[in-house]
Structure 1
Amino acid sequence: MRAPLGLPFGELPTRVAQLSRGAVEFRYEPRGPATVVVFYGGHMRAGLALGEEVFASGGCSLLVVSRPGYGRTPVTTGASVTGFADVTAELCAHLGISAVAAAVGVSAGGPTAVAMAARHPALVERLILQSAVGPLPWPDRRTRVGARLVFGAGMEAVTWATLHSLVRRAPNTGLRLLLGDLTVLPVQDTLAALRPEERAELIALFSRMRSGRGFVHDLDVLRTPAALARLAAQVRCPALVIASRKDAAVPFAHAQSLASAIPGAELVESQAEGHLVWFGRDWPSIAERIRAFLTPPEMPTQPSRQSL
């Protein structure tokens, strides 16, 4: 049986740091000397967890931040992609973190991870992108217009209260509605492929998501793919780009564009049914690839003088 993705049935404790550019909400779980920084995508915040088990099982410390507009991070804190990358670097210094084993960017959090790797090469050792937005227009016009209506000021709380109630009271209907925009496949096929524990994880996740002002903010700051392309070209650390061709939320072309723009990046194609690569049947093998990517190669043993 696959190891759980690490999403508890409740909110994880977070803190707020007051930094030079404003407040930032974060969750810091120290385990070992290697620290992974996670930037989640839309509707996620530091109090939620998804796919973190791969890092925790390797003994990595975790620093998860709420991007601008999500959780308790104001939309004004490092409002641009590059600005928030700099805020996160300052947060690392504030916490005494001198090296980041990997900056991890998920979905709409991908550009911030790219910016952090590009702008702070002495801090960030590796880059991992999962279903990440790349240097292409995103999202499509229909999604952009619809998102401003249902996640805009005055409607966001109503939208999520309705979705939370639906997922808890009629989980099949709620999952079908929410997963429908994440896959190019018939949503019934995606639902049928889920194991019972995976369904429980998704219900727990969807029943706690919120957008705050974050998702509408994302729509504004991620409108300049040329700027992201320039940042991607500046990345000099090893990079792993993971995505599925069946993703409807962030098309596979984004992963291809990231892998082409980042020098030496490796593209790993997931067989997942859609955007949520952690629920794919091949996730255990991808998780192993991530763990190997995070493990520094052993230095060759120098022969002793006696053997010379």
Structure 2
Amino acid sequence: MPEPSRPTAIAHLPTGQMEYRLDRRGDTVVLICHGGHVRAGLAVGEESFAAADATILVPSRPGYGRTPLTTGTSVERYTGVVRELCAHLGIDRVAAVVGISGGGPTAATLAARHPDLVERLILVSAVGWLPYPGRWTRLGSHLAFSAATERLTWAAIHALARRAPGRCLRTMLRSLSTRPVDDVVAALRPHDRDKLLALFTQMRSGRGFLNDLRPTPDVTARIDQPTLVVATRTDGGVPFAHAQSLAAAIRRAELVESRADSHFVWLGADWPAIAARIRAFLDLGPPAIT
């Protein structure tokens, strides 16, 4: 059975409606900009922050979950609404904003536009400002995730995950790794297989994914916060060149190369070492003992 979607709340702000999840723990706040096909209720790539006792704030980006597209059709406008959400929740500083995959441009723009709010930036398997995606991927996305087809596309994927899990993993991971997909699936640990299948049974695109494909102004030259860029060369979803470009363009950035087999770097065997590097970057100390 998939892990249930976590409870979320709605903030009715002067600039728009925002769905969010706030998991309160310690005093350190980490704000996560999720990737494509994901919303605030799905916890993806958060375990290292939770283990370090950080409070996690995850807003649903425009067009995902219960955040309407009108809240921020542009990344610039949306980051202003996120700033307003933080004020609404009594958060005046975040230790880091984390951009995962398609949430990379949002996280980077939030850091660039609101340096008084954001202390550090972490980009994980993140889309940058190189041309993206390729022509055929873009065309396929418009066919599979349009308003008319998105629900049917995900209904088919959800059914495949339940009825033919191995086939579902191969189908989904084929485009997320440059390695032979059978090797990638065979290398997954049982609990990682379960995590991926749970995720694939709950993903939706809404109107958000196609909005993510719209161009947004490159803000990398304006980012002055310390930045970690984490990526793997075998990412088939977001080419490693995006990480290299981000690390080169952001003046205080460090590139941390993962050895993971796919876009999901937190499933890699070297993730514990990378998570420790992230904790040191955030000065969060050792992980909690459970």
Which residue in the other structure is 2:24 paired with? 30
What is the aligned residue count? 285
Are the counterparts in 1 of residues 99 and 108 from structure 2 also a CA contact under 8 Å? yes
| Aligned counterparts of 2:35 and 2:196: Cα–Cα separation in 1 | 15
Specify which of 241, 265, 275 is matched with residue 287 of structure 1: 275
Which residue in the other structure is 2:252 paired with? 264
For residue 228 of structure 2, give the secondary structure of its aligned residue in structure 1.
Answer: strand
Which residue in the other structure is 2:229 paired with? 241
Specify which of 51, 57, 62 is matched with residue 51 of structure 2: 57
Q: How far is the alpha carbon of 1:83 from its aligned partner? A: 1.2
Which residue in the other structure is 1:186 paired with? 180
For residue 76 of structure 1, give the secondary structure of its aligned residue in structure 2.
Answer: helix
Q: Percent identity?
A: 58
Question: Which residue type is aligned with residue 21 of structure 2?
Answer: R
Which residue in the other structure is 1:75 paired with? 69
Q: Does 1:13 align with 2:7?
A: yes
Are the counterparts in 1 of residues 26 and 53 from structure 2 also a CA contact under 8 Å? yes
Structure 1 residues not aligned, in runs of 5+: 1-7, 298-308
Are the counterparts in 1 of residues 97 and 111 from structure 2 also a CA contact under 8 Å? yes
Q: How far is the alpha carbon of 1:296 from its aligned partner? A: 7.3
Larger Rg: 1
For residue 213 of structure 2, give the secondary structure of its aligned residue in structure 1.
Answer: helix
Are the counterparts in 1 of residues 52 and 284 from structure 2 also a CA contact under 8 Å? no
For residue 162 of structure 1, give the secondary structure of its aligned residue in structure 2.
Answer: helix
Residues 124-273 of structure 1 aligned to structure 2 (within 5 Å): 124-220=118-214, 223-224=215-216, 227-228=217-218, 231-273=219-261
Structure 2 residues not aligned, in runs of 5+: 286-290
Aligned Cα RMSD in Å? 1.3
| Aligned counterparts of 1:188 and 1:69: Cα–Cα separation in 2 | 33
Q: Does 1:277 align with 2:262?
A: no
> Which segments of structure 1 move beyond 4 Å, counting only runs of 4 or more?
none
Q: How far is the alpha carbon of 1:86 from its aligned partner? A: 1.2
Question: Which residue type is aligned with residue 83 of structure 2?
Answer: A
| Aligned counterparts of 2:77 and 2:248: Cα–Cα separation in 1 | 24
Q: How far is the alpha carbon of 1:20 from its aligned partner? A: 2.0
**TM-score, normalised by the number of residues in structure 1:** 0.91
Are the counterparts in 1 of residues 260 and 270 from structure 2 also a CA contact under 8 Å? yes
Q: Which range is displaced more, 73-82 or 93-102?
A: 73-82
| Aligned counterparts of 2:157 and 2:111: Cα–Cα separation in 1 | 35
Q: Does 1:117 align with 2:105?
A: no
For residue 174 of structure 1, give the secondary structure of its aligned residue in structure 2.
Answer: helix
| Aligned counterparts of 2:229 and 2:93: Cα–Cα separation in 1 | 21
**TM-score, normalised by the number of residues in structure 2:** 0.96
| Aligned counterparts of 1:101 and 1:278: Cα–Cα separation in 2 | 20
